[in-house]
Structures are given as C-alpha cells and as structure tokens.
Structure 1
Amino acid sequence: MKPLYIALFLGLIFSACTSKVTETSEASLVEQVNTNKGKLFIIGGGKRPPSLVKRLGEEANLGKDNNYAVVLPMSSSEPDTSAYYGCKQFTDLGYTAIFPKDIANSVAPHTSLLDSIRGAKLVYITGGDQNRFMERVAGTQLIQAIHDCYKNGGTIAGTSAGAALMSQAMITGNEKKHPEYNSTFRNIESENIELAEGLGLFPEAIIDQHFVKRSRYNRLISAVIENPSKVGLGIDESTAILVTEGTKIEVVGESQVIRMMNKQKSPKVYEDKIGATSIQLDVFVPGDVFEI
C-alpha cells in the first residue's frame, strides 16, 4: 500500500479496545523536547487567515511525499464539528488531513491511532477548553505519541486552547479566589492563578492566548511573578509563534506577541497583592525573531 493510504487506514479504522498505559515522567518528557527535531506552531486563537495556515503547511512539509496532518479535536465540546473545520482549513489548500473519530467520541486510543500520530508530519490541536483536552488524554499513551512525533521531526500545532496546553505549567483560565470566570483577571493577586499540567512541549514558557484582543495582562503577569523560571508568552489572535531548535521563535501572522520575563525571582507580597520589579516586557510583531 502507498504511504498515504496506510496513513488514512490507520487514521480512520480504530477499534474500541484500550491500550496499556506507559507512565512517562515530566523529566523524561522535557528531555525529549530538548532533543527534538520538530517544530511548534502555536496560534493565539481567533481567525486563521489562509496565509497563516499555508505557512503552517509549508513548515510541516504537507503536500510532499504523501505527508498528512492529524487533527485532534478533544478540546471542543463538539469534537466532530471542530474536527471537520480543523481538517477543512488544510484540505482547502490541497493538504491531506485526517481525524480519529473514535477518540473524539471518548474511545481510548488504539495502537493504530498512536502510530498515525507518530508518523504524521503535523499534529494539529483545535480550540475549546484546554482542561477538557488534558482530562481526555490523561492516562493514555497519546501524550507520548505526540512527543514522539515532535522528537522525530513532526510539527505540533494548536490554536487557542490548543496553544495554552503546549506549556508544562498550563493556564487553566480559572482563578482560585474568584470562582466566577473572568477572562482578563481583575487583580494581580498571590496564589490566585490556577496552573495545571499541560503537554509539556514547550516547558520553558507559559502560553496565554487571545492575548492583546482580550487584555490578559493581569493573568500573565501573575503567572510570571509566581513562576519566575518561566517566560510568559502572550500570543494575540490571528498570530502564531513558530518555535524551532527548541527556543528560537518567529512571529507569524497579523498581530503581536508579548514576552514577559521576571528577573527578580522573589515576589513582593502585600496582604493578598503581589509585586515585582525588573519584569521585562517585549512586544514583537510579525517577522520578528527572538530567543526564549
């Protein structure tokens, strides 16, 4: 069989049986990231202009040698619809994209799916709720398969929720002290921002999305004050960062990327408020290249 038909067969024909779970430590995942041969293409949400999707396809070498993309829609509350449009953005440009319908509907990943992910040139994670995605893949080998794809030269991409979960320390969107959701955070408070474990593909950074459009400065400032070893990256809508060589970043798209770094390391605390000095803030525009 030709490689393309093999990929389609693996991507579409999955059984409902479970796979044996292999535990992978955070340290080993980070080690894999540091030795990877692939790329990350992290989109801040919103509309994705064809030029941005085309650049993603080119970086992943789609359209060559029967290469294909696997779309993972588990962040969405309507995974079939999300997968349809996730695939369509690629097929409209002549690329091949498949999605595993079984896992989108809560069936455990079969070996054939894991092999399809490992062999893909692009794994694309749709928007929705990053917590939903991580809950869906918890305790499965799917996380390891994504890391294997990245390590072996594949491109891992995600938009909105699919961007947030690229971090090891993932912004959940929740506040510990304020149960009522607020997308911008009202204050910069101690022990308020909730972080959970993400995919760990970009462990050096904490990713925030829809950033300029939704003024999420308080949220990312809180994150970098309390996590000084991490670099905060706020990616605006219709904009992406292309990460190569592990830490080299290019801004792609239509808007800006904000970088925050906390050089003080130890936060100041006044009652429930936190402060810090020497926080570096940089604003990058499309075409800019910088190091994490």
Structure 2
Amino acid sequence: MAIGGHPPMGDRTPQGPLIIIGGAEDKEGNCTVLREFVRLAGGTKARIVVLTAATSMPREAGDDYTRVFERLGVEDVRIIDTEIRDDADKPHFIEDVQQASGIFFTGGDQARIIELIKETTLDKAIRQRHAAGVVVGGTSAGAAMMPDIMIIEGESKASPRVDVVDMGPGMGFLPGIVIDQHFAQRGRLGRLVSALVQQPANLGFGIDEDTAIIVNEDELEVVGSGSVTVVDESGATYNNVEHLLADEHLAVHNVKLHILPHGFRFNLKTRQPTVPQEEKPIPPVVQPV
C-alpha cells in the first residue's frame, strides 16, 4: 500500500449529529452518554426508535433501552426488530423512523446490521431522517458499523499483523474513518492500527466503554467516563504491509496518537485536538529583561 496516497477527509455533508458509543454505557446511574443522546433527540419530547438488528436477544435489548430512555423522561420509545431482511420493508417500521427524532442501534454483531438493514427501505428512511437533522446513535456493534468500511471481527490484545482483523462494508454514516469499541478494556490498539494500514481510511477512533464521540459536521466531542484514542496514519512515512505474510508483524512509522478524555474535541478536517477552555495551560510569564 502506498504511503501518503489516502485522500484527505473533506467537509461532511450537513446532517444530524452522530453519537458513537464504545459499549457498556452506564444505564443505572447518571447515564451521561445516553443522557446526551436523549438531549439531542429532543429531551422529554423525544421520539426514539431503537433498532435491535445486531443482537440475538432483541426483546431483552429493546426492554432494556426502553426502560432507560423512559427513566430519562422520554415518553415515546419504539422498538424496530428486524429478525429477517424482509422486516426492514414493513410499513409501520418505516413510519416509526419517519416520525423519530432519535435513532439508536444496539450492540451485538455488526455484520447483522449490514445483513438485515443496509440498502433496504428502512435504511433509506433512516438516512433521510439523518439528512434532515435527526441524531443517529449506536453502541458497541452499533458503533462499529458507522464507517463505510468497518471492523467485522479481530483479535484483541495482539500486535499489529495482517491477520489480526477482518474488514467489510459498513453503513457509511461516518465515511473515511475506522471505529473500534470496548477499546482500552479489550486492548484493541493493535487491531485498530492493523485495520488502518490495510484499507483506505487513515484516521481511527478507539472508543472506551461508557464513552462516546458526538460528531457534529467536522467536529467531535468526547463524553463519558473513559477516553478516545485517535490514531492518525495520514502522515505515515512507511509501512511494510505489501511485503508481509498473514501472520507476520506490521511495521509503521510516524503515526500520530491522541488520547482524548471527556470534554475534549477533535476536528476531522484539520485533524487537530482541542483542549477545553478550563484545561488550557496558562502561558508562562515573560520576565522583563
């Protein structure tokens, strides 16, 4: 793979915000991450649809999120359970999405979201609402599916190798990047780097549990109890991926790394982090000569 050949990320088309959650978000305490989703969906006047396509236990997941969203003051929570692909064409599901002010994907297996929803009538309705300004959120598998090329599965706690990670088409809500979740908890830096050097995206976000990035156009903000690890491979000067066998270790030079806790921001266009105002260092006092 040629170094430096990736196109830079341009401005995102104006649309609703994204809330991309690293999984295992707090549902019993203050619910910081889910509280932000509800706020962006309209607060107590929100109309939220929960899509359970990713999980093999849709009833349990649907009940769980109904309970937490209702506890946060939402009176209208509807579950969209697509057990088979034909369910994604059901008129009452489409109507629920068309009336929603917040659209939320649960965790599970991200490949199921692609199999059951992508390029269906339901998918079209979701994209129309997002383009109209409606917030779209997802946790765990619902986070992994956000890019156009997503991590399907891969080894945790492994050094970067070609065979560490499998990639495939995602939903494309946030193209040109790679998302990994349960990041610090499962030691996934190696597989995120492996994913970045093997496909066109060169900007990756590793999101810890109970932590999210809120994406508004070209800027994102971190919320939650953990951190987000940003890996920027756009300035890399070397990798050896073209010369490796599957089980051999990758070499990558001059990759940028940022660690962003709650309140910190990152600009997708400039690829620069922003320090919260109260955290900015005080410039040194220049003594007169």
TM-score range, shorter chain: 0.7 to 0.9
Assess, with a 3 A threshold, how the Cα gap between structure 1 residues 111 and 34 changes in structure 2: closer, same or farther.
farther
Which of these residues, 36, 60, 63, is aligned with residue 81 of structure 1? 60
Matched, 1:63 2:30: no
The separation in 2 between residues aligned to 1:211 and 1:138, in whole angstroms, is 25
Aligned partner of residue 114 in structure 1, secondary structure: helix
Tell me how large the CA RMSD over aligned residues is.
Answer: 2.2
> Which residue is equivalent to 1:249?
220
Output the TM-score relative to the length of structure 2: 0.80
Distance 1:75 1:105 in 2: 12
Q: Which amino acid aligns with 2:190?
A: N
Stretch moving more, 48-57 or 266-275: 266-275
In structure 2, what is the Cα distance between the partners aligned to 1:122 and 1:138? 18
Question: Which shows bigger deviation, 121-130 or 191-200?
Answer: 191-200
Aligned residues: 250
Query: How many angstroms does 1:238 deviate by?
Result: 0.5
Q: Which residue of 1 aligns with 2:286?
A: none
Q: Which one is further off, 226-235 or 159-168?
A: 226-235
8 Å CA contact 1:261–1:279 kept in 2: the answer is yes
Task: Give identity over the alignment, percent.
Answer: 30
Alignment of 1:132-211 (within 5 A): 132-174=112-154, 182=155, 184=156, 186-190=158-162, 192-211=164-183
- Counterparts of 2:134 and 2:202 in 1: how far apart (Å)? 25
Residue identity in the other structure for 1:279: V
- CA deviations 1:172-195 (Å, max 9, x no partner) are 114xxxxxxx4x153322365211
Contact 1:79 1:105 in 2 (8 A): no
CA distance in 1, matches of 2:128, 2:194: 32
Distance 2:16 2:100 in 1: 11
Per-residue CA distance 1:204-233 (angstroms, 9 max, x = gap): 211000001111011001112223533100
Alignment of 1:58-137 (within 5 A): 58-64=39-45, 67-95=46-74, 96-101=76-81, 103-104=82-83, 107-137=87-117
Larger Rg: 2
Judge conservation of contact 1:228–1:261 (CA < 8 Å) in 2. no
CA contact (8 A) 1:225 1:275 kept: no
- Tell me, yes or no, if the aligned pair for 1:250 and 1:290 is still in contact at 8 Å: yes
Q: TM-score, normalised by structure 1?
A: 0.79
Relative to structure 2, which stretch is displaced further, 92-101 or 67-76?
92-101
Aligned to 1:229: 201
The letter of the residue matching 1:160 is S
| Cα distance, 1:265–1:145 mapped onto 2, change above 3 Å | farther
Partner residue in 2 for 1:9: none
Q: Secondary structure at the match of 1:222?
A: helix
What residue number does 2:229 align with?
258
